[in-house]
Structure 1
Amino acid sequence: MRHRMKRNKLNRYASHRNALLRNLAKEIIEHSSIMTTTVKAKVGRQYIEKLIAKAIKAYKIKESNRAESVALRRQIFAELGDRRLVNKLVDEIAPKFVERNGGYLRVVKVGPRRGDGAEMAVLQLVSE
């Protein structure tokens, strides 16, 4: 049965797709805005918003439950593989979104790419 199998595979095998999403997440955390194709932006948004949700949870419970906060940081580290980016995500980016219930990223369509006509978009953190 194919229950709950709906996912855009981006015409890549699993390890390539995971590396792509990991790299998109690293660039968003580091630069807060990137230009990519619209399809990659939409798939990357789902991936990155889950990481931000974990970071917000880790930030909220930092004082009360230290062990769970460390566990969440380790889960984020398992996805990103860079401790500096994990600290930036939890300590700098997460506090901006504590009051927000999702929708941490926006996809703004830019138009076709000049070389091959692929639909391009800017994926950026929402800053209110």
Structure 2
Amino acid sequence: MRHRMKRNKLNRYGSHRRSLMRNLAKEIIEHGTIMTTTVKAKVGKEYIEKLITKAVKAYKIKDENKEESIALRRQLFAELGDRKLVNKLVDEIAPKYTGRNGGYTRVIKVGQRRGDGAEVSVLQIVE
């Protein structure tokens, strides 16, 4: 049964979709805001929120349970592939959201792209 298995595949095969999400996450962690199509922004929001949740957990338990914190950092590294971004995510971004349960990013619709008319949105990290 396929209950609760709905996912937007973005007309891409699995490895391409994974690469796209990884690149979106890297850019939003590095710059804080990106402009992309609305569909990519909505799918990317889900992916990035999961990464930030892991980072918040790693930040909260870094003093109590060192092994679990390191394990979470390694999971983030496996997703992002860049230690600098993992450190920025855990040490700079995660402390802002320790008291927040989700809702770390927002999608703001901007309009249509001039070339092909695709709906464009801004994906940004909430301050």
Q: Which amino acid aligns with 1:66?
A: K
Structure 2 residue 24 is the aligned partner of structure 1 residue 27: no
The match for 1:62 is 62
Give, in whole Å, the separation in 1 of the partners of 2:59 and 2:90: 6
Q: Deviations over 1:33-66 (max 9, x none)?
A: 0000000000000000000000000000010100
Distance 2:43 2:28 in 1: 13
Aligned to 2:3: 3
What is the TM-score when the length of structure 1 is the normalising length?
Answer: 0.97
CA positional deviation for 1:99: 1.0
Distance 2:99 2:105 in 1: 15
- 4+ runs of 1 displaced by more than 3 Å? none
Inter-partner Cα distance in structure 2 for 1:59 and 1:2: 35
* Aligned-pair CA distance for 1:2: 2.4
Between the aligned partners of 2:88 and 2:102, the Cα distance in structure 1 is 19
Give the letter aligned to residue 2 of structure 2: R
CA RMSD of aligned residues (A): 0.6
Under a length normalisation based on structure 2, what TM-score does the superposition of the two structures give? 0.98
What is the aligned partner in structure 2 of residue 110 from structure 1?
Answer: 110
Gaps of 5+ in 2: none
Q: Percentage identity across aligned positions?
A: 79
SS of 2:114's equivalent in the other structure is: coil
Give the corresponding residue for 2:51.
51
In 1, distance between residues paired with 2:46 and 2:71?
Answer: 21
Unmatched 5+ stretches in structure 1? none
What's 1:96 paired with? 96
